[in-house]
Amino acid sequence: MKKLYFTFVLAVLWIFSIQAQTYYVINPTPVFTPKSSPIEVAALYSADFNITQKNTIRQDYEDAYDDIVVLGEATRTYNCHNFAWHIADGGTATAWMNQIDITNGPNVAKYWTDGSFIEVCNESESSKIFYFTGDHSAIMSTISGYYDSKWGPDILVRHAPTNLPGIYVPADRRYFASILLR
């Protein structure tokens, strides 16, 4: 019950903070999939969290979620999709990557529809995880049984596959592997 209440309060605060304080503009320079499909990203146009806000966000998550490891501080400069599909593979663009583009067309899905990644049945064969109902992406952690993901504008965290905010619908996952040789 504690997690459910915390998730609800966090979602409401997150929505209001984004609407009230955070502005993004579409970056004219997209990022690209490994097969060169352009991915629309947005850049932060307003202020990021201050140090007090960052510390409060971190502490709130650590209090609400057992068995998580915070890997990075809260920042509005990038989100889960950009972390999982771009930054984790060596990309340098810190930006906000939405599941759909400004025309309501697919955006993140280009990573698998262009053949850069293939969907696999077994989690153990994957490197990327897409929470398809909850609009969230993660990567397989270097620690077995865990994922690494950025929780919205908040922290970058290592967590068990279903130990994350309920807004991401933890049970609804698809697994993807790169087609590039490892």
CA distance 113 to 126: 16
pTM for this one?
0.85
Can you give the pLDDT at residue 2?
54
Low-confidence ranges of the chain (pLDDT < 70): 1-24, 28, 181-182
Ramachandran category for residue 63: left, alpha or beta (phi over 0 → left; psi -120 to 50 → alpha):
alpha
Contact between residue 148 and residue 141 where contact means Cβ atoms under 8 Å apart: yes
CA distance 81 to 73: 16
Q: Is residue 107 helix, strand or coil?
A: coil
Question: Which strand ranges, in their side-by-side order, compose the sheet holding 147-150?
Answer: 69-72, 156-159, 147-150, 136-140, 128-131, 173-178, 117-120
Can you give the pLDDT at residue 169?
95
Can you give the pLDDT at residue 12?
39
**Would you kindly state where each structural domain of the chain is located, as residue ranges?**
2-178
